[in-house]
Structure 1
Amino acid sequence: MSTGRLLLRPNGLTPPTEMPTLIYGTAWKKDRSAELVYTALKAGFRALDTAAQPKHYREDLVGEGIRKAIAEGIVKREDIYLQTKYTPISGQNPHDMPYDASLSITDQVKASIHSSLQNLSVSKDDPNTAYGNFIDTLVLHSPLPTIEKTIEAWVAAESFVPDVIHNLGVSNCPLPILKALCSSSEIKIKPAVVQNRFYPDEDYDLELRSFARENDIIYQSFWTLTANPELVQSEPVQRLSDKAGISVAAALYALVMSLGNVSVLDGTKSEVHMKEDLELTSKIEQFSGGHQQQWQDLVRSFKLLIGEPA
């Protein structure tokens, strides 16, 4: 059981990137985004997920929270795994977008990335500074209407690797699209991450996660708590919470991470819950080390619950 960090597959252009298995999600934080990002970093989070999508994210305030934490010596930029997204027109508020909707897909992607680099720069006084002005992973927020348009967006993002983007990924992605991105001869840099809803309506992405593991793609689970009230109340989650002395939310996160090559987005607004969730690494390692059979039984029960071969 690895609950600490995962290694993104090297793409041949950039050094391997470490990703903490627990990522702080900044969606829907609105005007509190800077405060909550700062609090999350202070609590111990070292991975952040955001997007160039003003409809649901305040990427500019995420950058503000990061800069405050760095200025106070809480963290250095190189200690943070930072990912943002290019969101296609279909996911944007037409009255508040980071690019001109009349641009080509290629130019939309480039304008979105430049906007993100400015929002997330370590030095707001000099947004073009080389120091710290990079994105660990750029994610397509969703596939575009056709695979051809999706590949066009991907190739546009590739032009920023390795100088200011280190890895590429995709979100809200069905298995056929992920396979197409991995097999396309037009693409040089294969997906390093896929970020999807982990919920029963999609059979917990069983086949997609299997494909991702086989191809060294990290699966990022979101909507993990909200979409799974039955899992939260399930016997293996409740038992792990009790036996390991962690919250029910942290127990579910730990069991999802146990599926292999999986990280989890955590969007709590509570500093108390942030600290509780971050404790799961040490507490699960302690529990699994001292009670190996119990841990294996709980993982097996959880896999059976979600239809995964045990």
Structure 2
Amino acid sequence: MLERCKESCGLCGDSPAIGADGTGSLDPRAIGNVVLNSGHAMPLVGFGTAGLGDMTATATKWALQAGYRLVDTAQAPEWYREDLVGEAIRAFLASGGATREELFITSKLHPRDHGAERAKAMLESSLTNLGVDYLDLFLLHYPACWGTLCGGVEPQGTWRDSWRALEELQRAGKVRSIGVSNFDVNELRELAEWARVEPAVVQRNSDIFSADKEARQLCESKRWQYEAYSSLGSQWLMRGHRENPVLTHADVKRIARKKGKSPAQVVLRWAIQHGQIVIPRSSNRARIAENLDVAGWTLGDDDMFALDALDGHPPFVQ
């Protein structure tokens, strides 16, 4: 597991100064960071912006005001509004809420834009949308097009061509860290053998029912930071569940009652204690703030064991 920043480990700290309505803020130093293999520090908890639509700017503003300093977006218009994330970031920086150096901004290259020159051009597009002159992290969103994702557009190259471009962009200072999202284990192994600059971050879906152990173990062995999306279980809703099985499972609710925390806080804390960076998403101001309150307390071994036992046993579709 990567070294925790000693001055802010995320395992101790005061309670957040956040009201029940989500107003107020948590000191970002209490949240904690990991040091990536690129040498840069990345917050343990970030704000995910997928699926927020027209609420993106408002929700991102609330997240920044609550104390989030990692913001995750992407170039895929099917799920993200990178331009509205940029609107919120520009306003927050202009208000003096933080300096650019205090923010950690992630975007991702759409697979239809694979290819060396196209990847470089799209990085410039993200910088314009976000109103910044560098990204903290740039990921390949998918290794290739699938289904109707690319809308019939034929990419100019492969993920390998794009990776070479990311390596160049990092050397040029346009990107501080590079990585991949949604690569399977075989693709990650190929990348490990082929890359001149190894990925700093690997982003994949992980939750208590699908803990993604093999990929996580590979990342740990390579000193690649594992970053989880949909830790709160939203992927299960897309698979046909009427309600979120992660947040409604009896063990999660029992542990939440015992700890005086919400089910969302419990599963986020579980992920963090397994070395994962998490990027929960919400359009509710109070929940946005609540999801950040995962420092200053831990889950005991018995709680972790109970949650670990759920891996590989997803509930039936309801």
Q: TM-score range by the shorter chain?
A: 0.7 to 0.9
Higher helix share goes to which structure?
1
Change over 3 Å in CA distance of 1:207–1:135 after alignment to 2: same
What is the TM-score of this pair, normalised by structure 2? 0.77
* 2:309 equivalent in structure 1: 304
Cα gap change, 1:220 to 1:10, in 2 (>3 Å): closer
1:141-156 equivalences in 2 (<5 Å): 141-144=141-144, 149-156=158-165
Letter in 2 for 1:244: K
Q: Does 1:281 align with 2:288?
A: no
Partner Cα distance (2:10, 2:179) in 1: 22
- Residue 41 of structure 1 corresponds to 64
- 1:112 Cα deviation (Å)? 0.7
- Does residue 9 (structure 1) correspond to residue 36 (structure 2)? The answer is yes
Q: Does 1:61 align with 2:71?
A: no
For normalisation by structure 1, the TM-score amounts to: 0.79
Give deviations 1:188-230, integer Å, cap 9, x for gaps. Answer: 21111111112588x4211111111111111111122223543
Inter-partner Cα distance in structure 2 for 1:5 and 1:249 = 18
Cα shift at 1:242: 1.5
Distance 1:197 1:51 in 2: 16
1:104-123 residue pairs with structure 2 within 5 A?
105-122=115-132
The 8 Å contact of residues 119 and 165 in structure 2, kept in 1 or not, is answered as yes
Separation in 2, partners of 1:251, 1:194: 23
- Provide the rounded CA distance (Å) in 2 between the counterparts of 1:55 and 1:304: 34
In 1, distance between residues paired with 2:49 and 2:245? 25
Q: CA deviation at 1:55?
A: 2.6
Q: How many residues align?
A: 267
Hey, what's the Cα distance between the residues in 1 that align with 2:86 and 2:122? 15
Gaps of 5+ in 2: 1-8, 12-30, 146-154, 237-243, 314-318
Q: Distance in 1 between matches of 2:116 and 2:67?
A: 37
Query: Contact 2:46–2:280 (CA<8 Å) still a contact in 1?
Result: yes
Unpaired stretches in structure 1, ≥5 consecutive residues: 90-98, 123-132, 289-294
Q: Which runs of 4+ in 1 moved over 4 A?
A: none
Q: Give the C-alpha shift of residue 82 in structure 1.
A: 0.8
Q: Does 1:258 align with 2:273?
A: yes
Distance in 2, matches of 1:142 and 1:244, equals 37
- What does residue 127 of structure 1 align with? none
Partner of residue 284 from structure 2, selected from 270, 287, 310 = 270
Query: Residue 37 of structure 2 contacts residue 223 of structure 2 at CA under 8 Å; is this kept in 1?
Result: no
53 and 227 in structure 1: CA distance in 2 versus 1, 3 angstrom threshold: closer
Distance 1:5 1:177, change over 3 A: farther
TM-fit CA distance, 1:233:
3.1
Q: Percent identity?
A: 28
What's the secondary structure of 2:309's corresponding residue?
Answer: helix
